[in-house]
Structure 1
């Protein structure tokens, strides 16, 4: 299961990066691009780090970051949808 989630979180980051790179070069587009890339790659990187945790406490700590960053990705995707951006 850990391997599956490692791969899925990395695939998620790749998809978010592709969406982010398709955004227009406006001030808002650049801001969302940066935020979406940062948060989605953080999901993958922190899940990977969590799976290497040396204690249950370390695993839980990293996993809480994963949850927060994943929720931020959801926020940016919802924001794009509400803005009716065609790329999403």
Structure 2
């Protein structure tokens, strides 16, 4: 994950293979951003070895806005709580593929 996430952010196509289905939970932070395969997928030829570079610019903007609003809130500024909740929802359920 520590390699896959920055590569994806830079537009480098990524293939991520987890040891098994249970191990996939370790990658929950990038689950909706890139496909996460298992060894079983590898054995059964279910991996796309020609992934395309993903356009996640909208996700980057959500993350920056989340940081901005969260920081302002912590500093005691009044923010639009509904906007912050919507942004966090968009991040949590983001699907790039």
TM-score tier, shorter chain, comes to 0.3 to 0.5
Higher helix share: 1
Structure exhibiting the larger radius of gyration computed from Cα positions: 2
Higher strand share: 2
TM-score, normalised relative to structure 2: 0.42
